[in-house]
Structure 1
């Protein structure tokens, strides 16, 4: 029996279904074409399924095959035999020729595998480049988002500081208006004309009652309160406030007018009776805190005894 391309592929170790399919799908153009197809499609899930020719290739029993005439059928001459590749009509191969052919085909398979590995390696390198490029783009996007967030936080802090500054300015203006109203009411021109930081004390201030025995027998309602504040360096500030003003106005007055170069937070307290005023007390009027008509407050650092 003559050795065919199918037998050669089977001898090389390929399953029969694969060999038949490779030869059929390459148009029976030889072993090399079939080998190329097998290398390219060795991982196909249906590579081992039997080859089924398309229905259009089934020859009709009533019609002679394409390329053959009735005369050729009667005479027994088959033109297809004349067009068969020389590989199909050659003499049987010897064992040495079969080994040489198998060796050549195996080298071809190895070459095809190397080419495929080289191609896969290039594709892997290209995918890695794309992955790194995408990673860099994502990193730039995250960095931009962080910068935008930091700018937003900085803008919010600037806005908060501006609002706090405006709030202090409003309180300062309110104190100055109250001073002007008091000066107008009691005829004092010095406090109305001077800023808060340079307010001189009246030379003829009324004496402060030092004991309950000096109070008038009839209890009276005071509209104003004279507050003396002793600072950390031994100096003092004296100012007159409305009895209904909050203690926070006194603290703001001290912050704006103290000359002891103190910037640390401080508490206000009284000695007799001893009382340390809290943040809740800052919202209470001076009259409710018992500081009317006059009182002495002491400035102390927060946390000190």
Structure 2
């Protein structure tokens, strides 16, 4: 039977080294076991190398299990040959029987191949399901992280806008308070000068009436000045400031009240005499810059002045 199994495997197209190794490593338990082994190890790099039996053993010399002969063990493990009788095992196979056995073996190979392909197909489907599941989980995690980051950024922008709004509101309230204080002081001075025959106080913008009996007028000290600011679009802003206020107050007033659509940095200048005010000038009072009692300032883009 060993020679018959080896010849059958060789006739089915298996190389001799491969067939001998398959039969030896399966304990010579028949063609079916050898074929199963060959299909499982078809990708082994040393599959076609000659089989070297362990020391003290030779090919087909393994002892059969206790209570079983090699012949009975092989017949039990190879169901495709169970119909053969003991007489058939002792005599060589005819060409017809060899062809029939080869046909059955080829059918068995095809069946094993189909089973293996089906098993690999199921395994591939399962792996693809696992891959898609892991991809969906990773996608959900990334989406959650992005949503958290967007919420964090939105909260930061909202807080920044609120702080900026509150800061502008405080500046507006301060300007309104200063305007109210100036208006109150300026209005009080006019009322006093109109009701009294005494010489007007220094805050009164109107000139002191002259008469032949009075002394020549002296240089008047003003504590307020009227500033007109011409914007980029031709419109203008007019506001009254204290003479001792810094030029920075005028710039802040323009930034908060301009409606010409300009948002770029700008400078203030006078046309006659021509003068461009610098950052150092912003810290100087209006009276020191010669802008009292009134002046016209022009807004120009920085770099184009």
- Give the TM bin, normalised by the shorter chain: 0.5 to 0.7
Matched, 1:148 2:148: yes
In structure 2, the partner of 1:201 is none
Q: Counterparts in 2 of 1:1-305, with a 5 A limit?
A: 3-54=3-54, 58=57, 80=69, 83=72, 85=74, 89-175=89-175, 178=178, 205-207=204-206, 224-229=224-229, 237-247=238-248, 249-254=249-254, 262=259, 264-265=261-262, 270-273=270-273, 283-287=282-286, 289-297=289-297
Q: Distance in 2 between matches of 1:178 and 1:9?
A: 110
The normalised TM-score by structure 1 is 0.63
Q: Compared with structure 1, are the counterparts of its residues 40 and 129 closer, same or farther at alpha carbon in structure 2 (3 Å cutoff)?
A: same
The normalised TM-score by structure 2 is 0.63
Asked whether the 8 Å contact 1:3–1:92 carries over to 2, the reply is no
CA shift digits 1:92-128 (9 cap, x unpaired): 1111111111121112112212222222222223333
Asked whether the 8 Å contact 1:230–1:297 carries over to 2, the reply is yes
Asked whether the 8 Å contact 1:243–1:292 carries over to 2, the reply is no
Asked whether the 8 Å contact 1:2–1:91 carries over to 2, the reply is no
CA shift digits 1:222-246 (9 cap, x unpaired): 7654324568797863312353423
Asked whether the 8 Å contact 1:2–1:92 carries over to 2, the reply is no
What are structure 1's unaligned runs of at least 5 residues? 60-64, 69-78, 191-203, 209-214
What are structure 2's unaligned runs of at least 5 residues? 76-80, 190-202, 208-216
Q: Compared with structure 1, are the counterparts of its residues 289 and 46 closer, same or farther at alpha carbon in structure 2 (3 Å cutoff)?
A: farther
Asked whether the 8 Å contact 1:228–1:236 carries over to 2, the reply is yes
Offset of residue 14 of structure 1: 1.6
Q: Compared with structure 1, are the counterparts of its residues 234 and 216 closer, same or farther at alpha carbon in structure 2 (3 Å cutoff)?
A: farther
Q: Distance in 1 between matches of 2:160 and 2:228?
A: 33
Q: Which piece of structure 1 moves more, 224-233 or 92-101?
A: 224-233
Offset of residue 22 of structure 1: 1.8
Asked whether the 8 Å contact 1:228–1:238 carries over to 2, the reply is yes
Q: Secondary structure at the match of 2:49?
A: coil
Q: Distance in 1 between matches of 2:70 and 2:241?
A: 129
CA shift digits 1:170-205 (9 cap, x unpaired): 333443565577679x58669xxxxxxxxxxxxx84
Size of the alignment, in residue pairs?
262
Asked whether the 8 Å contact 1:17–1:51 carries over to 2, the reply is yes
Q: Distance in 2 between matches of 1:293 and 1:92?
A: 135
Q: Distance in 2 between matches of 1:66 and 1:149?
A: 71
CA shift digits 1:16-64 (9 cap, x unpaired): 2322222233232211121111112111223223334455x759xxxxx
The root-mean-square deviation of aligned C-alpha atoms, in Å, is: 4.5
Asked whether the 8 Å contact 1:223–1:244 carries over to 2, the reply is no
Q: Compared with structure 1, are the counterparts of its residues 100 and 159 closer, same or farther at alpha carbon in structure 2 (3 Å cutoff)?
A: same
Q: Compared with structure 1, are the counterparts of its residues 294 and 28 closer, same or farther at alpha carbon in structure 2 (3 Å cutoff)?
A: same
In structure 2, the partner of 1:199 is none
Asked whether the 8 Å contact 1:19–1:34 carries over to 2, the reply is yes
